[in-house]
Amino acid sequence: MEASPADSDVPQVTQPSSTNYGKSPTSFTTITQVILVGCLALVSLTGNSTVCILMKRFKSIRTIPNMFLANLAIVDMFNILINLPLFTIVGVLEFEETLHGRWVSLAVASAQNLFNVLKITSMVVTMTDRYIAISWGLRYYIRKTKAKAARALCVVWLLSITITLPWVILASQLNLGDVPTYKYRIAYFNEIGRTASFFIYLMFGLATTLLSVLTFWSYKRKLKKFAKLRKEKHDSQETQLDRARTRSEVQAAWTIGLIIAAYILCYVPCILYAAVGPEEMLSSNEIKWFGFAANFFLYFSSGCNPLIYLARTTRFRAAVKQLLKNPFGSDDVKLEKPRGLINNVYKVIGVFQQHRRIKITPLPASLKKQNFMTLNVKKGC
């Protein structure tokens, strides 16, 4: 399940330099690549840490969808802090002898694989949450709790460790002696990673495709239901609330879809590098840049995710502005525009009986100006 299959052909090529790209680094190329890596690390760490700070600072940001996004931000930060410096040492500065040996190589490769699987699993679980939210509607809104979301995130981490563990056990049996780490990585990919990567990404592709189709189908079914009720003049307050909630959940699903699309696109250079093979480009001066791009873009999606959150989420943008104005305050997010349901606010009284219906009553006129939505669910009535 090696994330850098591009390196698999390098040992077959004899070069005077010991670099895994086949050429000695030029000072201009190396400095430029170090600057690019530094900018990526700065953007990614700043963006993802901001997401976590917003979750801690503002209560209204602590929603269940944002809990899943914060988990993804934590995974991205660990990935940048642990794996990107290792790539810089070996792949950019080409200090290959710095990292060597059986167990060091195993630790380096295991860290990259673990966070890669964590990211994949987190995206699938987040997409599943959005599908259930759209499909169940207000039933999901009533039953969801932050405790359940926290348990789901624990399952994500345990499942990712379980998936990675067989790879670690098999990789630990390879012993090439005290050779540089990149040679171990090549052996890992040829012996284990090629097959493991195929099945992992096949399952990821099937899961995301299935969830996308189911989510789209559920949304279309909801639209038909809303259109039918409006045509029959049964557009009650309950239906209006369900329609507004569905629009919000669909917007969140689109955000997750963009994150997954960015992740897949960032793997294109690595796939091309592995398909072409460096031995076919030895006469090209761009081989080092091609190899750099194949690895660099594996981390690029970690920097893209916070930008996608900010571009897609009004509340996140408002929270960032308020955080910059008052970093140490205790006030909550103040939106520039009211976000009530059709310029009104409704009080939801959940009557959780066998039929599981929801009774909706308007708030008094004195409270409508506040433009907020309250939920008072009483179970077991």
Comparing C-alpha atoms, which of 168, 174, 143, 118 is closest to residue 64? 143
Query: What's the pLDDT at 233?
Result: 64
User: Is the pLDDT score of 21 beyond 60?
Assistant: no
Residue 273 resides in a domain? yes
Residue 6 resides in a domain? no
Residue 313 resides in a domain? yes
The phi and psi torsions of 360 (rounded to 5 degrees) equal -120, 130
Residue 304 resides in a domain? yes
For the chain, give the number of residues: 381
pTM of the model: 0.74
Q: Render pLDDT for 54-73 as a digit per residue (tens, 0 to 9).
A: 988 888 888 888 899 999 99
Q: Render pLDDT for 211-225 as a digit per residue (tens, 0 to 9).
A: 888 888 888 887 787
Domains of the chain: total: 1
Tell me how far apart the terminal alpha carbons of the chain are, to the nearest angstrom: 51
Angle between helices 64-87 and 27-57 (to 10 degrees): 160
Angle at 176 between CA 174 and CA 177, to 5 degrees: 125
Residue 124 resides in a domain? yes
Cβ contacts of 2 within 8 Å, gap of 6 or more = 109, 112, 113, 185, 188, 189, 192, 193, 194, 197
Residue 138 resides in a domain? yes
User: Is the pLDDT score of 81 beyond 90?
Assistant: yes
Distance CA 351, CA 19 (A): 67
160 band by pLDDT with thresholds 50, 70 and 90: very high
Number of neighbouring beta carbons within 10 Å of residue 3: 21
Q: Which residue has the higher pLDDT, 275 or 271?
A: 271
Comparing C-alpha atoms, which of 310, 330, 328 is closest to residue 320? 310
Residues forming a β-bridge with 100: 180
Average pLDDT, the chain: 76
The phi and psi torsions of 45 (rounded to 5 degrees) equal -65, -40
Residue 176 resides in a domain? yes
CATH number at residue 216: 1.20.1070.10
Q: Render pLDDT for 189-217 as a digit per residue (tens, 0 to 9).
A: 888 877 887 888 888 888 888 988 888 88
The phi and psi torsions of 359 (rounded to 5 degrees) equal -100, 130
Number of neighbouring beta carbons within 10 Å of residue 35: 10
Per the structure, the complete domain to which residue 252 belongs is given by 28-325
Could you give the dihedral angle defined by the CA atoms of residues 68, 208, 170 and 182, in that order, rounded to the nearest 10 degrees?
A: -80
Residue 17 resides in a domain? no
pLDDT, average across residues 27-36: 88
Q: What does each C-alpha distance from 178 to 67, 97, 285 come to in angstroms?
A: 43, 10, 31
